[in-house]
């Protein structure tokens, strides 16, 4: 699996996810089978502060609601993990959310968009431009990944046209 990099059309916002984080995300999707799942992404911004660099992702906390057609991320254990990352010499912090739509397209639902807007406005997240990564399809076969950024006080923008893995390219 290759590293993932995507930018908005105007080049103002970017996202980089190394292959090891993508593999972890896809492994979590594979374990979920036909149930939605997700978690948060952590990392840092580049020097120009125009590109989020993801260094890790969580799975669904134990208090999450994971169903066939919906996912509500819980919070159990996340604050402790985030504080541990924040207190390291190479400080890492919340960048956004990732979410899996099994056997469906990687298209944000109205609930996904509403939650992103809430996260952007909620000062406790300390993240005025949260990223959302959506994985759709079958994690062990054909799947697609799309990424979005939500700008506080503005709208949600796609970071790229997307990225796909087809069964024949395994």
Task: Catalogue the active-site residues.
Answer: 36
CB 85 within 8 A of CB 92: yes
Q: What are phi and psi of 83, to 5 degrees?
A: -65, -40
The Cα–Cα gap between 167 and 35 comes to 20
Which one, of 41, 8, 5, 18, lies nearest residue 127 by Cα? Answer: 41
Neighbours of 154 (CB within 10 A): 12
The Cα–Cα gap between 98 and 54 comes to 11
| Residues whose CB falls within 8 Å of the CB of residue 64, separated by 6 or more in sequence, listed in order | 37, 38, 71, 72, 73, 74
Neighbours of 40 (CB within 10 A): 23
């Amino acid at each position: 699996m290759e590293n993932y990099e995507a930018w908005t059309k105007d080049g103002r916002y970017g996202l980089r996810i190394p292959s090891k984080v993508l593999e972890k995300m896809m492994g979590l999707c594979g374990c979920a089978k036909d149930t939605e799942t997700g978690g948060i992404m952590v990392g840092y911004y580049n020097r120009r502060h125009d590109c989020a660099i993801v260094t890790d992702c969580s799975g669904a906390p134990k208090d999450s609601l994971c169903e066939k057609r919906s996912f509500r991320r819980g919070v159990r254990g996340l604050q402790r993990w985030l504080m541990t990352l924040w207190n390291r010499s190479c400080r890492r912090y919340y960048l956004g959310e990732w979410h899996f739509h099994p056997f469906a397209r990687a298209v944000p639902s109205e609930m996904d968009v509403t939650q992103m807007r809430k996260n952007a406005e909620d000062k406790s997240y300390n993240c005025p431009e949260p990223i959302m990564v959506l994985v759709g399809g079958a994690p062990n076969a054909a799947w697609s990944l799309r990424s979005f950024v939500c700008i506080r006080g503005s709208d949600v923008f796609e970071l790229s046209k997307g990225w796909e893995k087809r069964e024949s390219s395994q």
